[in-house]
């Protein structure tokens, strides 16, 4: 297929990787790091390339960011001289929605001869149209509608030959308008069975046979194929003989698929696992195996799915994966070579315990570094005395000219925010020869593209770190900080990434390896210490400077830029995709704030702010980065009364008593209760590495250096010599 893929988005917008994958996995070879779209932020630039593509490419896909999809769709139709007409099926589906007239009109218009790919509610439906010899596909790209358009429209269109327009859904006969008993939620739908049929047809054409491991969920695959001629010839079911033992779920699923192939003469082996649970998130693994390797894909359960619906969806995905492998297309998943099949004796039984602890370390690192960063932003010299200057305290609106000298000990993840507002507390404990240049290592100013020459860094990693006035063996100190913040559910490589980030941050902070007022856990697991030991001395640099490495618990689907959250630019902190965070427990939280509570909080923060008589006008989000979706993200500006403040100020200063989980939030006023519902997404302020995202990447096969590349792109991993 001679194909071109275009992506049109808003300036500065990040398109979720998951949404891109949904398109490309059905069309083109790709990896998570290289999703093959040509990206544009203006129609003018896209049209320049599109004109050339129309002359030499026979299949063109234009994926448009969801917030600008319908307006762009109409402009594309006009530019291509395609006559627009209303689609009856989309009109029918969209009728139940409360859309204004203009929005509804834009949603229902499509080219006259197009094959329309309706979404479930009709909004942002895609289409395909022939233009001369070319097929042009236009579809929305986001995490919701892309999935519907691709599964129910684009894939059937491609597998049917993308030549003849597909028939539109017929209107129901009059006699069926009376209510009928709905099918059970667990019933296999016609659309799902069509995926199995298309896969079966591919197997027939190529003479391919699939051996399926006959575990419990394999019965669902049989139900998909029930009644299809030739299904039993091309799908054979082998005995389920594997004992999981110490295998992790990914390796176990791969082994079951290999076993199915080994027990037969089939071309491929396949498997759909049972439902497993980690961190209160349910998931299933599916796998297709050849003689050389097994491809494993992990699928996560939606909040409103029943187990039956989840297994049905996984079976549908397995049929699609089999079709991809049979057709020779590359697929999303973890490729596990046969020669790298895990040795059970070498596997640890408590990898989750180890992983959890590593994330604590990352939280520790962020705390220290961010505090120094704010000091640098405000022009504070590192040689400040024990009496912090008023210049340092201006970072937070509520700080006074005499900040408290003594604070309660807190976990490093909390300490970081305190020091962001009040400055690094250990400045006076630095070595006398430490210079200003050394302290500002890694910070990039907006008016100077060159970095300041850093003071000479020590050749060796530290032997000791002073924590709360006690000198500790350095590796033990890091392990203690990690254990204070992490539970026992994280993987080895996530912990290693956390350890590197923590070490980097302590090095960046440059306080002669001294940290106070921090909660630690001396009773850390030995496995945590061992993992810290493996990466001890490794740190990230950007250019010639130590990198600034903040982190957080979980993102809002992507991480936030340092510009938005901290007001400072770092090339490697401009936002990274972390879509798996949306599946984690605690991702979304709602907090109710009464109008009276908000009024008191605003007055306490700034008595000059005037709130109008109508409480519904008190709060308005002015700007956000769209991290969650087109309507919510990390808030850059929110209007409180007549005053605009940052999302960070609103969360951590104005509503500090409510302990909002994240500055990624949306606000809704409830007139009946005279209260505001503030919905937050993610946990923590969102810059740098997501701890839960790192864990998910590790579970999917990423090594710790790959995790660091994901969240700090452009940085280099270095290793200092460790003292003997």
Interacting residues of 665 by C-beta distance below 8 A, sequence separation 6+: 621, 632, 635, 647, 651, 678, 679, 680, 681
- Report how far residue 443's alpha carbon sits from residue 26's, in angstroms, rounded to the nearest whole number: 42
Which DSSP category does 642 fall into?
T
Half-sphere exposure of 438 (CA within 13 A, CB side): 18
| Dihedral class, residue 586 (left if φ above 0, else alpha if ψ from -120 to 50, else beta) | left
pLDDT score for 427: 57
pLDDT score for 588: 93
Within 10 angstroms of residue 56's Cβ, the number of other Cβ atoms is: 9
C-alpha triplet 31, 36, 42: angle, nearest 5°:
145
Which DSSP category does 150 fall into?
I
Within 10 angstroms of residue 53's Cβ, the number of other Cβ atoms is: 21
Write the CA distances from 342 to 68, 489, 569, 633, 706, integer angstroms.
Answer: 47, 21, 43, 40, 20
Write the CA distances from 587 to 300, 490, 555, 565, 583, integer angstroms.
Answer: 14, 17, 8, 19, 7
- Report how far residue 472's alpha carbon sits from residue 367's, in angstroms, rounded to the nearest whole number: 19
Which DSSP category does 656 fall into?
G
- Report how far residue 247's alpha carbon sits from residue 347's, in angstroms, rounded to the nearest whole number: 7
Q: CB–CB of 663/685 below 8 Å?
A: yes
Strand partners, 335: 295
Strand partners, 621: 638
If residue 138 lies in a helix (H) or strand (E), which one and from where to where?
Answer: strand 134-141
- Report how far residue 191's alpha carbon sits from residue 315's, in angstroms, rounded to the nearest whole number: 13
Within 10 angstroms of residue 174's Cβ, the number of other Cβ atoms is: 7
pLDDT digits (tens, 9 = 90+) for 135-153: 888 999 887 788 778 777 7
First to last CA, the chain: 59
- Report how far residue 599's alpha carbon sits from residue 641's, in angstroms, rounded to the nearest whole number: 10
Structure tokens at 131: 């233009």
Q: CB–CB of 713/573 below 8 Å?
A: no
Interacting residues of 603 by C-beta distance below 8 A, sequence separation 6+: 609
289 class by beta-carbon count within 10 Å (0-12 exposed, 13-18 middle, 19+ buried):
buried
Q: Is 364 helix (H, G, I), strand (E, B) or coil?
A: helix
Torsion angle, alpha carbons of 334, 315, 192, 137, to 10: 0
- Report how far residue 111's alpha carbon sits from residue 128's, in angstroms, rounded to the nearest whole number: 9
pLDDT lower than 50: segments of the chain:
28-34, 162-186, 340-405, 428-455, 457
Domains of the chain as residue ranges with CATH = 3-168 (3.40.980.10), 190-344 (3.90.950.20), 351-578+687-722 (no CATH), 588-681 (no CATH)
The answer to whether the Cα torsion of 693, 695, 697, 699 is positive or negative is: negative
- Report how far residue 123's alpha carbon sits from residue 69's, in angstroms, rounded to the nearest whole number: 10
Residue whose tokens read 């295998």: 247
C-alpha triplet 309, 312, 316: angle, nearest 5°:
135
Q: CB–CB of 539/720 below 8 Å?
A: yes
pLDDT score for 560: 93
For residue 209, the Cα-to-chain-centroid distance in whole angstroms is 36
Write the CA distances from 35 to 21, 22, 30, 420, integer angstroms.
Answer: 7, 10, 5, 36
């Amino acid at each position: 297929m001679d194909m071109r893929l275009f992506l049109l988005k808003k300036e500065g917008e990040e398109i979720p990787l998951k949404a891109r994958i949904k398109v490309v996995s059905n069309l083109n070879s790709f990896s998570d790091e290289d999703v093959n779209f040509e990206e544009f932020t203006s129609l003018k630039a896209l049209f320049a390339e599109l004109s050339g593509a129309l002359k030499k490419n026979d299949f063109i896909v234009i994926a448009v960011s969801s917030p600008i999809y319908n307006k762009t769709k109409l402009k594309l139709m006009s530019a291509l001289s395609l006559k627009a007409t209303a689609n009856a099926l989309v009109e029918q589906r969209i009728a139940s929605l409360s859309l204004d007239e203009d929005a509804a009109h834009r949603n229902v218009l499509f080219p006259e001869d197009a094959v329309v790919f309706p979404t479930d509610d009709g909004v942002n439906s895609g289409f395909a149209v022939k233009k001369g010899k070319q097929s042009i596909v236009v579809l929305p790209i986001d995490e919701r509608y892309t999935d519907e358009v691709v599964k129910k429209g684009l894939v059937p269109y491609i597998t049917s030959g993308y030549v003849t327009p597909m028939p539109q859904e017929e209107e129901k006969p009059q006699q069926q308008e009376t209510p009928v008993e709905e099918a059970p939620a667990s019933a296999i739908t016609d659309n799902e069975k069509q995926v199995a049929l298309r896969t079966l047809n591919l197997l027939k054409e190529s003479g391919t046979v699939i051996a399926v491991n006959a575990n419990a969920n394999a019965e669902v695959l049989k139900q998909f194929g029930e009644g299809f001629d030739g299904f039993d010839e091309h799908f054979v079911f082998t005995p389920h003989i594997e004992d999981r033992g110490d295998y992790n779920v990914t390796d176990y699923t791969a082994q079951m698929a290999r076993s199915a192939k080994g027990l037969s003469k089939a071309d491929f082996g396949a498997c759909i696992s049972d439902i497993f649970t980690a961190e209160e998130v349910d998931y299933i693994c599916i796998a297709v195996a050849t003689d050389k390797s097994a491809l494993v894909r992990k699928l996560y359960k939606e909040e409103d799915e029943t187990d039956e619906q989840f297994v049905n969806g996984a079976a549908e995905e397995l049929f699609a994966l089999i079709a991809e492998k049979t057709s020779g297309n590359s697929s999303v998943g973890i490729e596990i070579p046969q020669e790298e099949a895990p040795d059970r004796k070498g596997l640890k039984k408590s990898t989750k315990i180890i992983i959890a602890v590593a994330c604590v370390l990352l939280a520790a690192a962020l705390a220290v570094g961010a505090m120094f960063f704010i000091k640098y932003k405000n022009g504070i010299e590192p040689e400040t005395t024990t009496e912090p200057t008023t210049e340092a305290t201006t970072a937070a609106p509520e700080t006074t000219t005499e900040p408290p000298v003594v604070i309660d000990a807190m976990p490093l993840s909390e300490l970081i925010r305190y020091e962001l507002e009040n400055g690094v507390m250990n400045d006076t404990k630095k070595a006398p020869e430490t210079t200003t240049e050394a302290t500002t290592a890694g910070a990039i100013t907006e008016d100077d593209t060159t970095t300041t020459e850093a003071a000479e860094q020590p050749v060796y990693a530290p032997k000791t770190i002073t924590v709360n006035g006690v000198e500790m063996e350095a590796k033990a100190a890091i392990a203690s900080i990690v254990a204070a913040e992490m539970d026992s559910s994280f993987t080895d490589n996530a912990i290693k990434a956390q350890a590197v980030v923590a070490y980097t941050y302590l090095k960046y902070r440059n306080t002669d390896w001294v940290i106070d007022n921090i909660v630690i856990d001396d009773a850390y697991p030995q496995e945590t210490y061992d993992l810290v030991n493996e990466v001890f001395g490794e740190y990230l640099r950007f250019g010639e400077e130590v990198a600034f490495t903040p982190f957080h618990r979980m993102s809002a689907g992507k991480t936030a830029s340092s510009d938005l959250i901290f007001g400072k630019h770092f090339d490697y902190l401009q936002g990274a995709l972390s879509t798996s965070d949306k599946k984690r427990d605690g991702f979304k939280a709602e907090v109710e704030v009464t109008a009276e509570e908000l009024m008191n909080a605003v007055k306490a923060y700034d008595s000059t702010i005037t709130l109008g008589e109508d409480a519904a006008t008190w709060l308005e989000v002015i700007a956000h980065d769209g991290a969650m979706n087109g309507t919510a993200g990390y808030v850059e500006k929110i209007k409180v009364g007549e005053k605009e403040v940052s999302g960070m100020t609103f969360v951590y200063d104005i509503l500090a008593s409510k302990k909002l989980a994240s500055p990624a939030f949306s606000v809704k006023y409830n007139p009946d209760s005279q209260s505001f519902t503030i919905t937050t997404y993610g946990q923590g302020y969102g810059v740098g590495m997501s701890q839960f995202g790192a864990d998910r990447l590790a579970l999917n096969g990423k090594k710790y250096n790959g995790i660091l590349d994901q969240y700090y792109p452009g940085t280099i991993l270095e290793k200092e010599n460790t003292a003997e």
